[in-house]
Amino acid sequence: MRFEKIQAGLDILATAVAVNLLLVLTASPFIALLVLTDPFQSWPLVAAAAVLAAPGLTAAFTVFRQVSSDRVGSDRAGGNPFRSFVRGYRATWTRSALVALAAVGVCIVLLVDARFFADAAYAQAVMVVLVIVGMIVAGIALLALAAIAENPAIRVRDAARLGAWFGVRRWYLTLLSLGVLVAYAVFFINLPVLALSVMASPALFLAWTNSRYTLRPAFTHDEVAAV
């Protein structure tokens, strides 16, 4: 029994290391631009690289789903995280990139609006509204990516619709997922090497687990018909 627990712990550690490595590889242009350039000056390249990095997230979510399935014995396809990541990447890259493209496009519009209204008399009220809208967009995008990882055959508009419906209806769970990602972003800004090598998998796993729980009614009940 003790040996099995040790083996399970080592398997989880190996999976986390593999996911960290694969995320760095698939998001290397985005990471390089954030670390080596001024994102405010190179924002068009950063935006494009963010879209290209999105499939790595759904691939990581696929690995997490594989690990969760293996733990309950419902998936015998194998527990190789590299194989699961590649399979998830190939199955979801188009849809996840489209979701990221839409989210990044909306965020660019919000940033342009923020700069336009920065000197207005009612700038503070506008900024609050823009921040709230940005959080809603980020929450919908995260849930849409989780839905795509859960069902790679889902249409993009259906994934976005599920993200909007459950993201607003279960706003407290969405806020928790975004809080985890914001905390990771702060950690990345201060300690990028440690964040990429150690904390990427745990942070994304927490965000994925919470997002999957948020979307659970859509995949377990007929509530999706109401959407």
CB atoms within 10 A of CB 176: 16
Q: What's residue 124's pLDDT?
A: 87
Q: What's residue 77's pLDDT?
A: 42
User: Residue 196: is its pLDDT beyond 70?
Assistant: yes
Which one, of 78, 23, 16, lies nearest residue 54 by Cα? Answer: 23
Boundaries of every domain in the chain: 2-226
Contact yes or no for 91/55 (Cβ under 8 A): no
How far is 64 from 74, CA to CA, in rounded Å? 14
Which one, of 95, 15, 103, lies nearest residue 60 by Cα? Answer: 15
CB atoms within 10 A of CB 170: 20
Q: How far is CA 168 from CA 162, 178, 204, 214, in A?
A: 10, 13, 21, 10
- pLDDT tens readout for residues 152-189: 999 999 999 999 999 999 999 999 999 999 999 999 99
Tokens read off for 41: 């000056």
The mean pLDDT of 43-48, rounded to a whole number, is 93
Does this model's pTM top 0.75?
Answer: yes
- pLDDT tens readout for residues 114-133: 888 888 888 888 899 999 99
Q: What's residue 71's pLDDT?
A: 58
User: Residue 226: is its pLDDT beyond 60?
Assistant: no
Q: What's residue 224's pLDDT?
A: 41
The mean pLDDT of 75-81, rounded to a whole number, is 59
How far is 70 from 62, CA to CA, in rounded Å? 12
Q: Which of 7-21, 114-128, 188-202 has maximum average pLDDT?
A: 188-202
